[in-house]
Amino acid sequence: MKLWPVGLYRVAGESMRPTYAPGDVLVGLRWFRARTGQVVVAHHERPLIKRIKSVSGRNIWLVGDNPAASTDSRQFGPVVRHQLEAKIIGKLS
C-alpha cells in the first residue's frame, strides 16, 4: 500500500500517443475512484499507463490511446481494482 497520495510516473513506449509521449513524466493521484475515460497506472506483470475504457463490477477494461502500439486488455483481459495504482492528473514534462 502506498501512503503518499501522489506519485510520479514516466511513460515508456508509444501506446499512449498522441496524449503522452515516451519520456513524459506524469503525476498520479493514488486515492481515486475508477471511472471510464481516466488514464491510470495499472500493474499487469509490470506497471502500465492506460486509459479506462469501461468499468463493470470488479472488471476494468484498459486500452492504449494508440491501439497499434498498445498491449492492453485486448490481449490480457480486464484487470481488477487492486491492480490500479494511480489516476493520472497532470504532466510535468
- Per-residue pLDDT tens over the stretch 5-37: 999 999 999 999 999 999 999 999 999 999 999
Residue 1 has pLDDT above 80, yes or no: no
**C-alpha cell of residue 92:** 510535468
Contact 78, 60 (CB under 8 A): yes
Cell 501512503 belongs to 3
Task: Identify the pLDDT of residue 3.
Answer: 75
Per-residue model confidence as pLDDT tens digits over 33-85 = 999 999 999 999 999 999 999 999 999 999 999 999 999 999 999 999 999 99
Task: Identify the pLDDT of residue 4.
Answer: 86
- Note the pTM of the prediction, 2 decimals: 0.93
Residue 2 has pLDDT above 70, yes or no: no
Domains of the chain, CATH where assigned: 6-91 (2.10.109.10)
Task: Identify the pLDDT of residue 76.
Answer: 96
